[in-house]
């Protein structure tokens, strides 16, 4: 049975296109099922796309692209479009004046941002921050100067 975690990984290639305010990667993907054969995640500085390769029967392979982005993007306006015969990765540049020659550099794994960090994904969820430890208030009563104690309090202590 096919499993993304155990499948052999191969390099995913596509056509890189740069425009003034956007960068694209078009990936031919004829015959894939957008619900089960592709998974992606996109954060402000990293990107991963995995596509099940069905070209060889009996082999469990995925085509994979996992990169750290060389420049910042606007995650809210960026998207991954799962079209009929293509997958289009459309990234909105944070600074339109900058020229991109590529998405970035290959990395081994995608880093899931903490909750509050922006991410778009069809399979990953943001990590909730660890709860801060609750510090119990001290049960020790504050020290009171003997001269400030009432006569009743002094009698109770004896």
- Token readout for 91 is 């990234």
- Token readout for 96 is 């339109």
- Token readout for 103 is 């998405």
For residue 57, the model assigns a pLDDT of: 84
Q: What is the pLDDT of residues 79-113, one digit of tens each?
A: 999 999 999 999 999 999 999 998 899 999 999 88
Q: Taking a C-beta distance cutoff of 8 angstroms, is the pair 67, 50 a contact?
A: no
CB atoms within 10 A of CB 96: 10
For residue 58, the model assigns a pLDDT of: 85
Q: What residues of the chain score a pLDDT lower than 50? A: 137-138
For residue 154, the model assigns a pLDDT of: 55
For residue 146, the model assigns a pLDDT of: 53
CA angle centred on 30, ends 29 and 34, rounded to 5°: 65
For residue 12, the model assigns a pLDDT of: 95
For residue 117, the model assigns a pLDDT of: 79
pTM here is 0.76
Going from the N-terminus, what domains does the chain have, and what CATH number goes with each? 8-129 (2.60.40.790)
């Amino acid at each position: 049975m096919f499993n993304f975690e155990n499948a052999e990984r191969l390099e995913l290639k596509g056509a890189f296109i740069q425009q003034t305010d956007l960068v694209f990667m078009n990936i031919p993907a004829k015959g894939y099922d957008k619900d089960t054969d592709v998974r992606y995640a996109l954060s402000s500085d990293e990107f991963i796309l995995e596509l099940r390769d069905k070209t060889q029967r009996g082999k469990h392979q995925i085509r994979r692209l996992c990169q750290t982005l060389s420049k910042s993007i606007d995650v809210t306006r960026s998207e991954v479009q799962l079209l009929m015969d293509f997958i289009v990765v459309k990234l909105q540049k944070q600074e339109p004046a900058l020229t991109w020659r590529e998405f970035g550099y290959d990395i081994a794994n995608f880093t899931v941002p903490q909750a509050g960090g922006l991410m778009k994904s069809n399979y990953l969820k943001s990590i909730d921050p660890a709860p801060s430890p609750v510090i119990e208030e001290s049960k020790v009563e504050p020290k009171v100067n003997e001269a400030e104690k009432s006569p009743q309090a002094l009698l109770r202590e004896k």
